[in-house]
Amino acid sequence: MATEATQGAEMAGHGAEHAAETGGLVFHPMDQFIVKPLFGDGAVGMFTITNVTLWMAIAILVIVALMVLGTSRRAVVPSRSQSVAELAYGFIHKMVEDVTGKEGLVYFPYIMTLFMFIVVANFLGLIPMSFTTTSHFAVTVVLALCVFLGVTILGFVKNGPSFLSMFWVTSAPLALRPVLAIIEIISYFVRPVSHSIRLAGNVMAGHAVIKVFAGFAGLAIISPLSIVAITAIYGLEVMVAFVQAYVFTILTCVYLKDALHPHH
Amino acid sequence: MEGQLAHIGAGLAGLGTGLAALGVGNVAANFLAGALRNPSAAASQTATLFIGIAFAEALGIFSFLVALLLMFAV
């Protein structure tokens, strides 16, 4: 987090320079991702309460409100919040069952937690002036590493050393198998990298593009066009926010399936 | 000079995102072609579609990341 803060500060310096040069752009598109302490102006340390902490806490509160309060009445005819909660639950439950099979359902609570956190954090980030926690690699790398370590340990616990047979492709000719094994091992260890960077990269890129178009709105000639573009991209971002949470979750399911059944 | 070269490199890395767009479009187009031939089987394959799109997109995101690193970190 500390390094990110310094990076953010550098970006801010960059932005100020830029504004001085052109005179039009008063903010930098990457300024929105700066991690700031909520109280005071000190450096960001390990336990500093920052805007990231605040928006993560808000995400947790929203999820609890939706899932606990929404379903507490247990109405036969569901209210709006109850049907959203039921839809989300049914959607993820079906996804886990379809991809990993019946025995994967034991891990459903973890996958549901992942999905709810990412989707709510993404949607909260779309509120103007809010902070998008999932746009930071520090956040998504932790999520992806938890999945990667958990799935690897689970694979060894469930299958023992035969889990390594996942890298030895028996359907290929014998001469090709060592080469394939190297490729498989590399692709296995790239998983947490692509898993985390996909989410953070998509969310960050979308938000930066919105801010770039917002910068164009300062020029009187193209401001109507730029406002239309912001609206259109915002609509796209609403979709991306959901699709990226879905992709993160379904890839978790795929990795889990590989750990439970390494032989196909 | 070095900073300008980094910006050129960032622009070149940006090409990678466009190529990833080609890949994603290819996945979606082939899915659609298959889905129109057999619409009843399409709904069960949307998860596979998204997995394919995610894998095609990952490398584009990598090049976007390289562009960002060249712009802000180098």
User: Chains A, B: CB contacts under 8 A, how many?
Assistant: 41
The CATH fold of domain B2-73 = F1FO ATP Synthase (1.20.20)
Q: Among A232-236, A259-263, B1-5, where is mean pLDDT lowest? A: B1-5
Nearest CA in chain B to A15: B72
pLDDT tens digit sequence for B42-71: 888 888 898 888 888 878 888 888 888 888
State residue A18's pLDDT score: 46
Q: Among A6-10, A223-227, B2-6, where is mean pLDDT lowest? A: A6-10
* φ, ψ of residue A37 in degrees (nearest 5): -70, 145
Nearest CA in chain A to B59: A194
Quote ipTM for the complex. 0.76
- How far apart, in whole angstroms, are the C-alpha atoms of residue A227 and residue A231? 6
Check B47 against A250: CB less than 8 A apart.
yes
- How far apart, in whole angstroms, are the C-alpha atoms of residue B26 and residue B28? 6
Q: Where are the domains of chain B?
A: 2-73
Using the predicted structure, report yes or no on whether residue A17 has a pLDDT greater than 60. no
- Long-range contact list for A158-164, CB < 8 A, 24+ apart? A158/A259, A158/A260, A159/A259, A159/A262, A162/A262, A163/A259, A163/A262
Give chain B's count of helices (H) and strands (E).
3, 0
* Nearest CA among B62, B51, B70 for reference residue A201: B62
Share of chain A above pLDDT 90, in %: 48
* Nearest CA among A217, A243, A248 for reference residue A230: A217
For chain A, give the mean pLDDT: 85
- The answer to whether the Cα torsion of A93, A195, A189, A187 is positive or negative is positive
Check A198 against B57: CB less than 8 A apart.
yes
- The answer to whether the Cα torsion of A181, A182, A184, A185 is positive or negative is positive
- How far apart, in whole angstroms, are the C-alpha atoms of residue A210 and residue A131? 14
